[in-house]
Structure 1
Amino acid sequence: MNAPRFVGVASITAPPPDASQPYTYHELSSLAPTSTVLAEEVALAIAYNGISQAVMMVSPTDLDDFVVGFSLGSGIVASADEIYDVQLSGSGSARHADVQIASRAFWDLKQQRRQMAGTSGCGLCGVEAVEQALPNLAVLPGAPLPPAEWLTGLRERINDFQPLGQHCGAVHAALFMNDRGELLLGREDIGRHNALDKVIGALTRQNIPVTGGLAIVTSRCSLELIQKVLRAGIQTLISLSSPTGLALQWARRHNLNLIHLPKHSAPRVYSPAMETSR
């Protein structure tokens, strides 16, 4: 994975708020107020080459990683070197990301937007929307399954990478383990797909190779997470919750190692499928 040729990543114009702030509440059986901290979320409007594309509800941390990972994981750019610049602005609950991308990627994005025009009232958003939800992605070359010892005590080890979750809950986490079984980095967000986007963005911005490594998600594993790791070229995905049937089908079809790590039992390898003797 090549590092993006960023012209520059601007700082947010105002310091972001703490990821959690104290809020008061009272117990149902008592009127005495007390306080706790809750996870925060902000609206992030993302524009590519001046054209608005999406508004995402995200946790206000690692937004630069998120924008890069969202661009790659959503297929808006095919590679990191198609991202030229990211400018973040805004404060409070309203944030903005202005992204400059390569002309070819922008042309493809405009074509997708044109195909979607006029279909918003059809209920299923038209054939083009379905095709975009189920894109043709490259099949991975395949990789060995990770050694079992890499997963020993993994649930406990990832706690160190979930400070926000430990503090106030209400967030998901995604992490990356390198080809030596070392947990390198983690990101948290109110959205499980956002957390994975942040990890992909961090790997890209720090030019960390993904070969032989694996992604870990604390949430249920559905199709969009499979698509994101496929686009990132990560060959193994560990989920702390069960995958959906469609996610499993895609993992097997694209040579992605998919492993569920239950809380009280041994890891379950869903992909590749176990060959049974006749």
Structure 2
Amino acid sequence: MTLPESTADSPLPGAVQRPVARWRAGHLAEQADWIAEEVPVAVVCNGRDFAVMMATPADLEDFALGFALSEGLIATPDELLAVALRQQLEGLTLALTIPAERAAALAQRERSLEGRSGCGVCGSRRLEDLLRIPPRVTADPRISAAALDAALSGLAAHQSLAAATGATHAAAWADRDGRIRLLREDVGRHNALDKLTGALHRGGIERGDGFAVVTSRASYEMVMKAASAGIAVLAAISAPTALAIALADSTGLTLIGFARPGGCAVYTHAGRYAGRPGGEP
């Protein structure tokens, strides 16, 4: 895929430089600042419009696969037959080619609204489309407190967009020892997770060998996307919602919130998390 010109020419994909007048202690400095890009990305399946997401134009091939899987457009990665990126005046189009029987089913559950960068389920027409329950996760890793601490401590070193712009979320994959294996960033938290799950599949990484960490709250769609990808442990640095907890419980996913080096809160299926001596998380 060819990335948009602004991103392709940038030393920091997903960001552009813009002038800023910066005031500090009463002094003015005219500078160039790194700004995260946020563009409309239309997802088209076999020539039929499906959704428009506001996203950061980087790692879009990962996003295409992760989004197609989490939205149920395809059942397995090999059903994504082709991806083409097209730049238009209004934004970008991801043209997906999927099996004809999958494309036919989309007529029953098209999206009619844009998906804003803060919304992973905007535009769903029916309740059953919004509240799709993924299959129960089958992976069963055991995650230690030390591994979670290591992953949380290692996030910043991999967040190049956030370091430069201060405007992006991250979704990371850590192995059982807490080493960050993959990390994807986006202005939308759900986009970052779709990018991560797409990268996991493309890299052939087994979801039973680690856990996911997100730099956001754990909302319903984050749990849905994680469970759909077969991720058994999802740790968020902020709080979960009640619906997220209910979905995590029903799908067998271990949901961790308020994850910080030194502590966390485990809301569902706590047996996968081995806390510190004395039973404390």
What is the TM-score when the length of structure 1 is the normalising length?
0.83
1:25 matches 2:21:
yes
Q: 2:8 aligns with which of 13, 16, 19?
A: 16
Q: 1:159 aligns with which of 131, 143, 156?
A: 156
CA distance in 1, matches of 2:125, 2:193: 25
Paired letter, 2:147: W
Query: How far is the alpha carbon of 1:220 from its aligned partner?
Result: 0.6
Of all paired residues, the percent bearing the same amino acid is: 35
1:6 corresponding residue in structure 2: none
1:272 corresponding residue in structure 2: 269
1:131 corresponding residue in structure 2: 128
CA distance in 2, matches of 1:261, 1:223: 16
Q: Contact 1:45–1:97 at 8 Å: present in 2 too?
A: yes
User: 1:134-213 residue pairs with structure 2 within 5 A?
Assistant: 134-141=131-138, 143-213=140-210
2:224 corresponding residue in structure 1: 227
CA distance in 1, matches of 2:124, 2:242: 22
Q: For CA contacts below 8 A with separation 6 or more, give which structure has more relative contact order.
A: 1
1:105 corresponding residue in structure 2: 102
Paired letter, 1:16: A
Query: Deviations for 1:48-94, whole angstroms, at most 9, x for unmatched residues?
Result: 00111111111111111111111111222121121100011216862
Paired letter, 2:2: S
CA distance in 1, matches of 2:52, 2:164: 27
Q: Contact 2:218–2:241 at 8 Å: present in 1 too?
A: yes
Structure 2 unaligned runs (5+)? Answer: 113-121, 272-281
CA distance in 1, matches of 2:209, 2:4: 38
1:81 matches 2:78:
yes
Structure 1 unaligned runs (5+)? Answer: 1-9, 118-124
Aligned partner of residue 211 in structure 1, secondary structure: helix
CA distance in 2, matches of 1:11, 1:231: 28
CA distance in 1, matches of 2:166, 2:99: 38
Query: Deviations for 1:153-184, whole angstroms, at most 9, x for unmatched residues?
Result: 43321111101101111100001113453311
Q: Contact 1:212–1:235 at 8 Å: present in 2 too?
A: no
Single out whichever of 44-53 and 12-21 deviates more from structure 2: 12-21
Structure 1 pair 225–61 and aligned structure 2 pair: CA distance change class (3 A):
same
CA distance in 1, matches of 2:212, 2:160: 18
Aligned partner of residue 139 in structure 1, secondary structure: coil
Query: How far is the alpha carbon of 1:139 from its aligned partner?
Result: 1.7
What is the TM-score when the length of structure 2 is the normalising length?
0.82
Quote the RMSD (CA, aligned, Å): 2.6
Structure 1 pair 40–13 and aligned structure 2 pair: CA distance change class (3 A):
closer
Query: Deviations for 1:87-136, whole angstroms, at most 9, x for unmatched residues?
Result: 112168621111100122112112223xx78xxxxxxx999611111113
CA distance in 1, matches of 2:221, 2:19: 33
2:116 corresponding residue in structure 1: none
CA distance in 1, matches of 2:228, 2:245: 16
Structure 1 pair 17–244 and aligned structure 2 pair: CA distance change class (3 A):
farther
CA distance in 2, matches of 1:270, 1:41: 33
Aligned partner of residue 177 in structure 1, secondary structure: strand
Paired letter, 2:20: T
Number of positions where the alignment pairs a residue of Structure 1 with one of Structure 2: 256
Query: How far is the alpha carbon of 1:212 from its aligned partner?
Result: 2.9
Query: Deviations for 1:4-25, whole angstroms, at most 9, x for unmatched residues?
Result: xxxxxx3347463532313222
Single out whichever of 252-261 and 31-40 deviates more from structure 2: 31-40
Query: How far is the alpha carbon of 1:142 from its aligned partner?
Result: 5.9
Q: Contact 1:248–1:271 at 8 Å: present in 2 too?
A: yes
